[in-house]
Structure 1
Amino acid sequence: MSDQANITAASLSPERWTASSNEALQMFVTDTRGAAKPFQPVFTYPIFGDSESIFGFQDLVIFLCFDSVTFLPFLNVKFSAKLKDEDIEVDPKTKLLEYLPELTIYKDEAKWRDLIEEEQVGYKIPGDKVEGSDFEKNGEKYEIYRIDLNSVKGLELHKRLQILVLLFIEAGSYIDSEDPLWDLYVLYRVSNTELPEIVGFTTAYNYWKYPGFEKFDQGIVQLRKKISQFIVLPTDQGNGLGAEFYLRLYKYWLKDERLIEIVIEDPNESFDDLRDRVDFTRLVEEEVIDLKELNVELASDSKWYSQVKNHEKLEKRQFLRLLEMMLLYKLTKIPNHGLDKKLIRLFIKKRLYEKNKEALATLDEPTRLDKLQTAYHSLEQDYYRILEPVKLLSGPPLKKVKV
């Protein structure tokens, strides 16, 4: 077919030359046994534009593969037909290489595998193990490492991982790895200690907080830890590893006396749910809050509230949500709970009113009450959805709050 014929065919049947970038991009992680585990991106608009489409190719397939140990990338692009370069808006190879590290191997799969073998010899994770991060799940062993972004190998690992932020986090963007306030934590499967496999990673920023002039003069440092990005590889999702990852990092950060609060930056619904369930379960099972004693009066006690919130480094909104969930859980799951459902409803509505005070203040009283009731009912149903899979461990009677 001539070039002119190609152009005419493309203009008459553009759909034949247009591919969904979400479907064309085929991703894989190869494990230490050589098996390739496939997965698909959730988003490709940060790379290929808002339409998430690529024009100018027929039967387009983009292969992006990673080694599970070193995360060395391999890129290949295949198609059955292609328009002239000047008629193509985006070349998938060129575009993807803008977001991948320089060591990315293109086309030459044999070279990629040789380099993987070379990098795996005597491989050492470029960072330090997080204290108390060991756990076992489904017969496998896992550990968390804080990656040294000041080292050449640590920085290279981050460059290999970061494209996943664009492909799996809506509105995700790369962090400034040269900023010393950024932390990178990677979750590894370490059943084979010589070849640890990457399961997921998270980035967190350490915000300095002015502690007041007295503490400042004494040299006391206070920080807020903000989780920015949190990813478990799709090939390892659905096994409870994200919850274990978050739980062990949170417990590790709780020991840092400099930290006064641990927060999340713009969490999506799935991470919000994970966080709620993990926080809820931890506070109850670690005997921070005694469900038998919890009631609206205690939850409304400002001294008790502040003590627990500060001790657990929880942000205000998150702790209030957890208390609301606990009250509803006790109401529906614990016999002889001794709670008044109306008081719980009013307790929750009070927060909803404060959150939407400006908008509600413009409404007449019947409309305002109706809006609040609708919001409460929706939130109550969402809480029950979140709590449905929560299974608290049986054990000795819960103790009083530890502060």
Structure 2
Amino acid sequence: MAEEGEWSANANDALNIGLVRPTDAGLKAIATFNPRFTYPIFGNEEQIFGYKGLKINLRYSANDMRPHVQITSKEKFKAIGDTEPTDIRAVLQEHLPTIAFSSVKDFEASVQKTTKEWKPPGELHTSFETQDGTYEIRKGSLTDPAIHQLITRVEIFVPLFIEGGSYIARDPQAADPWKVPEDAARWTVFLLYRKQPVADDAAQSPYTFVGYSTIYRFFYFQAPSPPASPAADWELPKGDFEITDLPCRTRLSQFVILPPFQGKGIGARLYKSIFEHYLANPLAMELTVEDPNEAFDDMRDLSDLTYLKTVPEFAQVRINTDINVPDDSSKAVPRDIVDSDLLDKLRRKTKIAPRQFARLVEMHTMSQLPASVQPSFGVDKKAKPTRAEAHQYRLWRMFAKQRVYRQNKDILGQIDLPERREKLNEALGSVELDPVGIIESPRLRSLVRDDSISPLHDFPPPLIDLPASIQFRHSINTSSSTDLEPESAESVTMADPFEVRMRFSSQLQHLNATVVSHQKAAAYAMKYKDMDEDLHSCILEQLERSNMNTRANIMFCIEHIMDMAKKENHLNYITMVQRDIIRIVDAVAPENASGAANVRVVRLVLQCLENKGHIENQVVVQIEEVLKDRETTAHDAGLSSPVQGDQDLGDMPPSQTIPKPGRPSAPGLDKRQIEQRIEEDRERHKRLREDIWAIRDRDAEIDRLWEETSDLGEDDHTMGREEFLAREAAVAQQCPHYTPRDLDDLYGRKDHNGASGRGHGNGTSH
């Protein structure tokens, strides 16, 4: 069988997306780009099997975004049994409307028919001018058929550019997944178009699709205080009412700017327009964002801070330096370091979500710290802080710690108090230096010097009273992953190390037997590989504090992490596992009875790591000697089938059987943990059975047979001679002219006298 790699193509590279316009000579591509993610469509490996020279061209009409898919390849794999090439068309049909699979002729004819009278759906919300043209933001409801049609066409950009993004305009589980969803009235869509006349053809539509954002309305319950007493004649309202007439909490769900228009501050303009719209809407009580990434947070921070600087009351927000800090750490920390009543009124007035507002206040109060205590890398020599300045800085740290603790209280609550304080101090260090670290990016420095691409040139003046570190961070990094160059989005962001550790620890705690959960945790570890030492320490901590099942899952996850690390040539993870392999094995399968059931898990993973070259054979052999001793503990503790049958049970009936004296008791496992382990082992065994038939390279099958074959012995020689004689007899029976001498001649053997025998058909007379 041919090598699998020969027939596999990277889906990110194979899928090319383009925007096209009509010309006299045919369609002309005005922009082309590749997706950032394809695992939601083609699987976690982002590989497409069965093609050589594969190209998937997904073209869009630049204005109405009618799609067309064209799939070409130099060679296609011929199916062998159940092994067959990926049905790309069938896969994409789940993500694109039927019109995307029409003929090339129909698509080109449709694009040619679009005239300058064509306008985007929805009502004109606002417009703004930039150096490359006029941009229009249009607003409408998902109940509008034209808007729903447009969203179904472009919604594939969500999983392609937003990690973990999902669809809103379709329900794959419904009988008709493309119909308007039942909650469409709750969705508001903001469309962003560039309006620029085509220079060489005035008859064409001047509109080009740039991006869009979707907003969902939640009902916002406002409890009256004090509760109003109903009048005697009050009755329940009758009839239907519009959801848009109720107070709501609005949630920004999707935010997409196509790559050709990223890096120009267009995303910040769209966000600013959406924020101002709901700020002026009396029924909108709060504007939240659904699971924002780090880059979007940067854009949001600058936009929100810029707005808050225009609110007069916000200037009154400052650290209350009159508060005395108790020297005894066991005493309660003062709560009103910043006026809580003022903050609550401001937050409700500005309609900013509580967590986001707390971060903004933290940045604002940080900007008020004296230069002697402002967080920095310490390159410039600072003056020694006065007693009052040190006191102000200490209060600010307490204020920031309160926010970090509230944000992670579920995880921190499980940690002992001394370790909790240590973790909070570590987190606070990253909170201080996060804005400073981002300015080290060369790309950011170049953007700082280039005023022509300032993302907020129509916003109020820069926040000159912010420290330089925050100014650098927010004057540049003002876009989500959809408003930055895809290849530079990760390089210009720096996540909070404490938050990264907490999220990774949570992923490790919730691992199960599925490959998807392990690959997800491994992908997260590689995403933040700059923090590899911190994440490796998380693995060790979770191994030492988790239950038996979680330790087994983490052991399997380590293999996935090492595989990805080798694939991306980031060998630090592999080196650290090699260094701590003894500690890892002791944690997964300790000497006591609690780890005996994990001996097989450790042995299986070590064998895989040895086969892949991650761990040397000598290390595995040494560990195996230790595992053999610990494996017997499983029998002694009652964790495996008895080795000596019923001898351990004596003559007692099963209901009265008790362990023999001196036999260690099994670890205390509740029923839920036992059932969970049974299910997870069943899932793993299922994968192992599937793996039996996998042939990864040319020699894999013969290697497997060689390992399964016993050593050559006397019985094998006897059997070989018997088979040989039986074969000679069979051959002789096929032709009556054969004699033993003829057989010797046939096989080129010498007779006992040293003469060569004569072969059949060599002129011998009969």
Normalising by the smaller structure, the TM-score range is 0.7 to 0.9
Taking the aligned partners of 2:216 and 2:54, their CA distance within structure 1 comes to 39
> Counterpart of 2:156 in structure 1: which amino acid?
I
Greater per-residue strand proportion: 1
Taking the aligned partners of 2:412 and 2:464, their CA distance within structure 1 comes to 45
> Counterpart of 1:153 in structure 2: which amino acid?
A
Taking the aligned partners of 1:299 and 1:365, their CA distance within structure 2 comes to 23
Taking the aligned partners of 1:359 and 1:99, their CA distance within structure 2 comes to 37
Taking the aligned partners of 2:165 and 2:91, their CA distance within structure 1 comes to 17
**1:162 match:** 155
TM-score norm. by structure 1 comes to 0.84
**2:47 match:** 53
Of the three residues 124, 128, 131, the one matched with 1:129 is 124
Q: 1:23 to 1:348 in 2, by over 3 A?
A: same
Using the TM superposition, name which of 45-54 and 93-102 deviates more: 93-102
> Counterpart of 2:277 in structure 1: which amino acid?
Y
**1:3 match:** none
Is 2:17 the counterpart of 1:27?
Answer: yes
Alignment of 1:186-197 (within 5 A): 186-192=191-197, 194-197=205-208
Taking the aligned partners of 1:281 and 1:331, their CA distance within structure 2 comes to 19
**1:371 match:** 423
Taking the aligned partners of 1:94 and 1:357, their CA distance within structure 2 comes to 45
- Residue correspondences, number: 381
Of the three residues 73, 76, 100, the one matched with 1:82 is 76
Preserved CA contact (<8 Å) 1:71 1:161: yes
Of the three residues 101, 106, 110, the one matched with 1:111 is 106
Q: 1:203 to 1:373 in 2, by over 3 A?
A: same
Preserved CA contact (<8 Å) 1:207 1:223: yes
**1:400 match:** none
Is 2:221 the counterpart of 1:210?
Answer: yes
**2:7 match:** 17
Q: 1:359 to 1:44 in 2, by over 3 A?
A: closer
Is 2:305 the counterpart of 1:312?
Answer: no
Q: 1:91 to 1:358 in 2, by over 3 A?
A: closer
Paired residue secondary structure (1:143): strand
Paired residue secondary structure (2:268): helix
Q: 1:363 to 1:15 in 2, by over 3 A?
A: closer
> Counterpart of 1:96 in structure 2: which amino acid?
L
TM-fit CA distance, 1:141: 1.2
**1:248 match:** 273
**2:146 match:** 153
* Cα offsets for 1:201-257 (capped at 9, x unmatched): 011110112223669989983101001110000110000111111011100111110
Structure 1 unaligned runs (5+)? Answer: 1-7, 398-403
Preserved CA contact (<8 Å) 1:135 1:141: yes
**1:97 match:** 93
Using the TM superposition, name which of 75-84 and 112-121 deviates more: 112-121
TM-fit CA distance, 1:158: 1.2
Q: 1:139 to 1:27 in 2, by over 3 A?
A: closer
> Counterpart of 1:144 in structure 2: which amino acid?
I
Paired residue secondary structure (2:90): helix
TM-fit CA distance, 1:128: 0.8
Preserved CA contact (<8 Å) 2:63 2:120: no
TM-fit CA distance, 1:91: 1.4
Taking the aligned partners of 1:358 and 1:76, their CA distance within structure 2 comes to 49
Of the three residues 376, 400, 410, the one matched with 1:348 is 400
Is 2:194 the counterpart of 1:199?
Answer: no
TM-fit CA distance, 1:134: 1.8
> Which has the higher relative contact order, 1 or 2, with Cα contacts under 8 A spaced 6 or more apart?
1
Q: 1:215 to 1:184 in 2, by over 3 A?
A: farther
Using the TM superposition, name which of 362-371 and 375-384 deviates more: 362-371
Is 2:30 the counterpart of 1:40?
Answer: no
Q: 1:302 to 1:290 in 2, by over 3 A?
A: closer
Is 2:436 the counterpart of 1:381?
Answer: no
Is 2:226 the counterpart of 1:231?
Answer: no
State the structure with more CA Rg. Answer: 2
TM-score norm. by structure 2 comes to 0.46
